[in-house]
Amino acid sequence: MAGKTTIVKRIMGEDVTTVSPTLGFNIKTIDYDGYKLNIWDVGGQKSLRSYWRNYFEHTDSLIWVVDATDRLRIDLCREELHGLLQEERLSGASLLVFANKTDIGGCMTGDELSQALRLDQIRTHRWNILGCSAITGENLNEGLAWVVEDAKARLFLY
């Protein structure tokens, strides 16, 4: 569990003590800095991944949540991310990588994750990586601020 649902619940101000795996998706809407953000929390189980492309219409930003403690699955995470970024409907979308669980000792650093995910090879999307904690809320607002600012810079050019 990378922490996608826990992050959404924390952002929404909901209780994060009881979270179960997302089977399908949850949609939440939040007003952030004068903008309405529709957040699609899509389950990450392997059996659900083939359905991900059904959620990409009108996507301005993609927030990819990585468990910074899970070294065993980082290669699979990289493959899924790079495959996803090939989707035409995600063309031009901002990419924020939330490195979740950075409050846990022994986790991968931002540089380690950036290298493992080969973020430097991504030329088709503007991206940022940010360590966070779904439990404490650390850097979640900073991540949303980056997503909004990056989308504004691309979408509201006058």
Contact assessment for residue 116 and residue 78, using Cβ atoms and an 8 Å cutoff: yes
Residue 86 appears among annotated catalytic residues: no
69 is annotated as contributing to ligand binding: no
Among 45, 86, 115, 121, the one annotated catalytic:
45
Residues 6+ apart with CB under 8 A from 67: 1, 2, 3, 73, 100, 101
CA proximity to 37, closest of 61, 5, 10 = 61
13 is annotated as contributing to ligand binding: no
103 is annotated as contributing to ligand binding: yes
44 is annotated as contributing to ligand binding: yes
Contact assessment for residue 101 and residue 3, using Cβ atoms and an 8 Å cutoff: yes
60 is annotated as contributing to ligand binding: no
Contact assessment for residue 97 and residue 128, using Cβ atoms and an 8 Å cutoff: yes
Kindly list the catalytic residues: 45
In the annotated binding site for GTP, the residues are 44, 100-103
In the annotated binding site for Mg(2+), the residues are 5, 22
